[in-house]
């Protein structure tokens, strides 16, 4: 830029010059052909919406069916017409499915009936989406969780060993009841000096499981010891009455206590009391044994199986309350072992992965059974940070678990394991929302730690949602208007990120500015102007005008030049000219206020 000095003044050119078309502004960019727009989620008139969005130049349109009621209101005929329109215009279509609770977990607890209803809803959505693209695998996005409060983690740079959570939301696997755990300070009696013990949420969870299981076993121990106490005090009399009872049973087929002597009757009553206690013990142990099997892992179930076989062996033969009581005592002792103690309380994220993956795996397989190789691709999206299953690690786990559920379901139907795994990897993946993960900033995460979350899901990526924010509120702005580290995120996504369709979600831009955000995004992602994927980029557009005032072209409206640039003949009549009907402002051309 040239400078001129004269009379103590320094004058610089205000013309900045044009960019070189040979020098890209960035080594990371997104091509316009992989960018898409969404329809308005508030309307079911998707045919009109798609037609309108096409004028922006987008090559991908995502139908927003986030509201279940609005999605159900979308006519089947319009789904088919959108497919025809996509063929005519050469665009691709995807679908954002209804945002629903697929886990079956709510504030009242867990409901398997609600989870099954959600599974049917997801399967139906996949089948309906087929109308939008009957010849291909249309991506259909669902949120990993909805309406479930998530645990709050310390940022990785603040974590201590064994303590990851600021606030841990836990859920009881039996009842589905949720409860929050935060760090707690405890004092213990019997110490010379009061010394506080700080318990992390993880340690509190461990102690809660141990305490609840121990309390359940203590009640069983009480009844079992009461039975043994009765048997021990009356052992001789009960052994005699047992012999008489066995003879009576063999001779008459039943026991008639009316023929017993007073001493025999007393022994019989004591035996009956002990048997009642043992019966209660057996029912309680049976319940606890069932829970241990249901909520334990495979290793624990193997140990429980060995305990069950030994109990059966010890109690075989003619009924003997003394043998029964001893075998029951040994079984109770064994069940108190940490080796078989089930985790009844678990982090809500762990439980939600188990239940939600069942929903997604089963629904994806149902769609595959009907549509085979043309089945839609079910993609699981990270919700805004703060909800359950919103981190990269969470999405990785739920995708893996959903694929595993798909394989198990397919094997039950006779499909080979290898083919089932191939189809599961093809039809179940992740949608990565760069704006949602950026909201980890409000919990203290650094930019590098946010990008690290992206690295975890990169191998599972199928689809990308683009929206910008400042890390605190769930705003949806065009890229480049917040602080989402898009360049670094795209690098982590690698080739899959380059190939994946990237949908612009900018609801707040539409709300306030009423204009398509497509050009703003093209500039932010440094998209090439020409299809050869070379410079110049849209981010260089301002400089390429090569006009005054930094390349923004003419700063005055055209009517200014029409009025004052061609003599008085262009002046309005009220100023002595010949231009009729000047009803608005003479500069803007719009009606005067």
Domain ranges of the chain: 1-27+536-555, 30-148+346-525, 153-204, 211-335, 558-593
The reported pLDDT for the residue numbered 11 is: 57
The 10 Å CB-count burial string (b at 16+, else e) for 360-369 is bbbbbbbbbe
As given in the structure block, the two tokens for residue 589 are 């051309």
As given in the structure block, the two tokens for residue 46 are 């998707």
Name the pairing type of β-strands 152-153 and 139-143: unpaired
The reported pLDDT for the residue numbered 438 is: 97
Q: What count of Cα atoms within 13 Å lies in the side-chain half-sphere of residue 289?
A: 21
CB 424 within 8 A of CB 391: no
In terms of Cβ atoms closer than 10 Å to its own Cβ (0-12, 13-18, 19+), residue 496 is middle
Name the pairing type of β-strands 9-12 and 3-6: antiparallel
Residue 36: what are its φ and ψ, rounded to 5°?
-135, 165
Place of tokens 């043992």: 278
Neighbours of 326 (CB within 10 A): 16
Long-range contacts of 88-91 (CB under 8 A, 24+ apart): 89/54, 90/59, 91/54, 91/58, 91/59, 91/60, 91/61
Q: Which residues pair with 160 in a beta bridge?
A: 163
CATH 3.20.20.150 applies to domain 30-148+346-525: yes
The reported pLDDT for the residue numbered 551 is: 45
Closest CA to 469 of 461, 477, 458: 477
CB 321 within 8 A of CB 103: no
The reported pLDDT for the residue numbered 548 is: 42
Sequence length of the chain is 593
Q: Which residues pair with 64 in a beta bridge?
A: 96
Q: Which residues contact 370 (CB under 8 A, 6 or more apart)?
A: 127
Q: What count of Cα atoms within 13 Å lies in the side-chain half-sphere of residue 188?
A: 6
The reported pLDDT for the residue numbered 122 is: 98
Which segments of 4-148 does DSSP mark as H helices, in order?
Answer: 46-54, 68-73, 76-89, 112-129
Q: Distance (Å, rounded) from C-alpha 396 to C-alpha 457?
A: 5
CB 516 within 8 A of CB 548: no
Q: Which residues pair with 572 in a beta bridge?
A: 579
Closest CA to 376 of 143, 80, 569, 132: 132
List, run by run, the mean pLDDT of 10-residue segments along the chain (593 residues). Answer: 58 53 60 90 93 85 96 96 94 96 88 95 97 94 91 92 91 90 86 80 94 89 88 83 70 66 81 89 92 90 93 86 89 90 93 96 97 96 94 96 98 95 97 97 95 95 96 93 94 91 90 85 85 73 53 54 57 60 49 45
CB 439 within 8 A of CB 469: yes
The 10 Å CB-count burial string (b at 16+, else e) for 211-222 is eebeebbeebbe
Closest CA to 157 of 374, 584, 446: 446
CB 504 within 8 A of CB 543: no
DSSP states of 364-413 = HHHHHHHHGGGPPEEEEE--SBTBSS-SHHHHHHHHHHHHHHHHHHHHHT
Q: Distance (Å, rounded) from C-alpha 132 to C-alpha 128?
A: 8
């Amino acid at each position: 830029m040239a400078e001129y000095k004269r009379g103590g003044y320094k004058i610089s050119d205000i013309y900045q010059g044009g960019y070189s078309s040979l020098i890209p502004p960035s080594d990371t960019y997104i091509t316009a052909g992989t960018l898409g727009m969404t329809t308005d989620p508030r309307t079911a008139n998707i045919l009109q919406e798609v037609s309108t969005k096409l004028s922006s130049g987008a090559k991908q349109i995502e139908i927003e069916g986030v509201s279940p009621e609005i999605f159900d209101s979308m006519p089947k005929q319009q789904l088919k017409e959108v497919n025809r329109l996509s063929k005519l215009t050469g665009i691709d279509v995807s679908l954002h499915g209804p945002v629903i609770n697929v886990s079956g977990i709510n504030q009242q607890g867990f409901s398997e009936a609600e989870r099954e209803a959600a599974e049917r809803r997801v399967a139906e959505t996949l089948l309906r989406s087929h109308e939008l693209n009957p010849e291909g695998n249309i991506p259909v996005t669902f949120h990993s969780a909805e309406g479930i409060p998530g645990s709050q983690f310390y940022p990785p740079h603040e974590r201590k060993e064994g303590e990851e959570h600021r606030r841990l939301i836990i859920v009881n696997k039996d009842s589905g009841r949720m409860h929050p755990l935060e760090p707690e300070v405890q004092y213990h009696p019997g110490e010379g000096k009061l010394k506080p013990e700080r318990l992390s949420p993880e340690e509190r969870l461990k102690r809660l499981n141990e305490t609840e299981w121990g309390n359940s076993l203590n009640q069983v121990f009480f009844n079992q010891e009461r039975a043994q106490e009765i048997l021990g005090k009356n052992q001789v009399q009960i052994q005699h009455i047992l012999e008489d009872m066995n003879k009576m049973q063999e001779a008459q087929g039943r026991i008639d206590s009316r023929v017993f002597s007073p001493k025999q009757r007393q022994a019989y009553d004591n035996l009956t009391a002990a048997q009642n206690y043992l019966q209660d013990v057996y029912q309680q142990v049976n319940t606890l044994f069932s829970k241990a099997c249901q909520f334990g892992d495979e290793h624990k179930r193997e140990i429980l199986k060995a305990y069950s076989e030994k109990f059966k062996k010890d109690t075989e033969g003619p009924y003997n309350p003394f043998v029964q009581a001893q075998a029951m005592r040994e079984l109770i002792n064994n069940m108190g072992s940490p080796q078989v103690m089930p985790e009844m309380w678990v982090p809500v994220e762990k439980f939600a992965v188990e239940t939600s993956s069942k929903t997604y795996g089963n629904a994806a397989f149902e769609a595959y059974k009907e549509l085979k190789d043309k089945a839609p691709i079910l993609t699981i999206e990270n919700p805004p940070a703060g909800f359950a299953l919103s981190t990269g690690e969470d999405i990785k786990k739920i995708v893996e678990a959903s694929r595993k559920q798909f394989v198990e379901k397919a094997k039950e139907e006779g499909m080979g394991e290898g083919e089932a795994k191939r189809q599961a990897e093809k039809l179940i993946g992740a949608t990565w929302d760069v704006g949602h993960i950026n909201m980890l900033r409000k919990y203290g995460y650094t930019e590098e730690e946010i990008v690290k979350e992206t690295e975890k899901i990169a191998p599972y990526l199928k689809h990308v949602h683009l929206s910008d924010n400042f890390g605190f509120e769930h705003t949806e702005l065009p890229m480049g208007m917040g602080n989402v580290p898009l360049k670094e995120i795209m690098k982590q996504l690698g080739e899959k990120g380059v190939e994946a369709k990237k949908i612009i979600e900018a609801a707040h831009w539409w709300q306030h500015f009423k204009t398509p955000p497509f050009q703003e995004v093209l500039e932010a992602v440094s998209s090439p102007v020409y299809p050869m994927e070379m410079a110049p980029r849209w981010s260089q557009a301002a400089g390429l005008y090569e006009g005054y005032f930094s390349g923004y072209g003419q700063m005055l409206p055209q009517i200014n030049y029409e009025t004052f640039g061609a003599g008085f003949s262009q002046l309005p009549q009220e100023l002595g000219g010949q231009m009729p009907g000047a009803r608005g402002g003479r500069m803007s051309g719009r009606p005067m206020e």
